[in-house]
Amino acid sequence: MALALAFVDVDTQFDFMDPGGKLYVPHAEEIVPNLVRLMACARERNIPIISSADAHAPDDPEFKLWPPHCVTGTRGQQHIRETSVPGALTLTMGSGPFVAPEEWPPQIVIEKDVYETSANPNFDRILEALGPRRYVVFGVATEYCVRADVLALRKRSKPVELVVDAIKAIAEDDGRKAIEEMAAAGAQLVTTADVCK
């Protein structure tokens, strides 16, 4: 029997997705129609959505490498409308241990201040609560946070499908290399149509 799915929506926040964002990923808005389709597919089929979210302090050391972005409490840190689900549960880096609720929320937003969502202590607790699943990953940016989350899931021996028409890279060459690396690590390359057929 095929494993049930869980969707991993990586950093589809205003600062990355919108041309006016503080750390805009070039052409990120082009994947929005596929993000809309994936989110609708999840809601129709009752597939859990795990959404990662960059959440930085105004003086985060990461801002030595990157322009300030996704500062907690700003518009830029929020998910775009198309990937925001009413009734979402947000887990900050300081949230207490996650306990699976009787009724699973339509979206769990896991905040983190580094590339890897697995840096949030609740990442592994959520995977455990979900039980055996196949993880469908999409979002931005391909060669940074998408790569980090796919490799973290593969390190935990989770089956991963990477939705290649619902990701965008900051630099195309680096994005291609990252996709090759994720595929070599065992991620299956799929399209939105494959997932939502």
Q: Which residues of the chain have pLDDT under 70?
A: 1
Strand partners, 54: 112
Residue-wise pLDDT tens digits, 97-122: 999 888 899 999 999 999 999 999 99
Q: Is 46 left (phi over 0), alpha (psi -120 to 50) or beta?
A: left
Which helix (DSSP H) or strand (DSSP E) does residue 182 occupy? helix 172-184
Residue-level pLDDT at 1: 66
The distance from CA 93 to its chain's CA centroid, rounded to whole angstroms, is: 16
- Return the CATH number at 147: 3.40.50.850
Closest CA to 183 of 123, 142, 128, 126: 142
Q: How many C-alpha atoms does 69 have within 13 Å on its Cβ side?
A: 25
What pLDDT does 187 receive? 98
Residues spanned by the domain of 135 = 5-97+105-195
**pLDDT at position 143:** 98
Total number of domains in the chain: 1
Closest C-alpha to 95, from 117, 122, 70, 115: 122
The reported pLDDT for the residue numbered 51 is 98
- Report helix, strand or coil for 47: coil
For the residues of 130-143, what is the DSSP string, one character each?
Answer: H-S-EEEEEEE-II
